[in-house]
Chain A
């Protein structure tokens, strides 16, 4: 079974631009979560989508948004990019059954550099 895929793998943008990152979950997985990883803050939860609905949200500004499509694929968008948005953006998928514990499978991430 194919793993979680993320595109693009690397991205360079300038301040003020916007960016869209894509994530394809493992087949059959309905939950997609997004995380931001930086050396200073570590891995921080952005949001989780399940059945095209945002189910949970972390403490990030409204410039960070996401959506999920009917095939469970997800996109996240960052508008008005700031230098501090430079990070590795990780997507994780899970079955989404809401059970006590679910294994989240991470993709390789998209490394975003904002100049």
Chain B
């Protein structure tokens, strides 16, 4: 079983829809949670990061962390065709000053105009 599970999709939605992307994880040592967006033929770019359980909002994006359930989500409101990309969740912990980053496999999102 992978440490981080993520549905690969593809997820196809109409423009303007609310998108929900999710990851589950098994390692309770994870403390930091991130969402990256990766366009085709590009490297991932950081969208959001959170530390504690709860919600964090940034424009049309909301990240949600539930540590008790080991479940994180990314919501995209009013989705646009430009949001079409692969979304990767990532998690890390701090261990004596070193940091390891574990990624989910990514969910491919297609927003239809």
Q: Are A108 and B41 in contact (CB under 8 A)?
A: yes
> What's the least CB distance linking A59 to chain B, in Å?
11
Total interface residues on B, using CB and 8 Å?
A: 24
* Cβ-based interface call for B17 (8 A): no
Contact residues on A (Cβ < 8 Å of other chain), bracket? 20 to 34
* Cβ-based interface call for B109 (8 A): no
What number of A-B contacts does a CB cutoff of 8 Å give?
55
Q: Are B43 and A108 in contact (CB under 8 A)?
A: yes
Of the listed stretches A12-20, A42-50, A64-72, A77-85, chain B binds: A42-50
Of the listed stretches B63-71, B73-81, B98-106, chain A binds: B98-106
**A42-B105, A100-B51, A101-B49 known; A4-B100 Cβ under 8 A:** no
Q: Are A48 and B102 in contact (CB under 8 A)?
A: no
Q: Are B98 and A48 in contact (CB under 8 A)?
A: yes
Complex interface: chain A residues within 8 A of B41 (CB):
108
Q: Are A56 and B88 in contact (CB under 8 A)?
A: no
Complex interface: chain A residues within 8 A of B102 (CB):
45
Which of A41, A45, A98 is within 8 Å of B97, CB to CB? A98
What CA separation (Å) do A56 and B90 show in the bound complex? 17
Q: Are B94 and A43 in contact (CB under 8 A)?
A: no
Complex interface: chain A residues within 8 A of B43 (CB):
4, 90, 92, 106-109
Complex interface: chain A residues within 8 A of B94 (CB):
100
Q: Are B100 and A56 in contact (CB under 8 A)?
A: yes
**A42-B106, A100-B51, A101-B51 known; A33-B45 Cβ under 8 A:** no
* Cβ-based interface call for A63 (8 A): no
Q: Are A104 and B46 in contact (CB under 8 A)?
A: yes
Residues in chain B within 8 A of chain A (CB atoms):
32, 36, 41-46, 49, 51, 88, 90, 92, 94, 97-106
6 nearest A-B residue pairs (beta carbon): A106-B43, A42-B105, A43-B103, A56-B98, A98-B97, A106-B44
- Other CB < 8 Å A-B pairs besides A41-B105, A100-B94, 8 of them? A35-B103, A43-B88, A55-B97, A98-B97, A100-B51, A103-B46, A105-B45, A108-B41
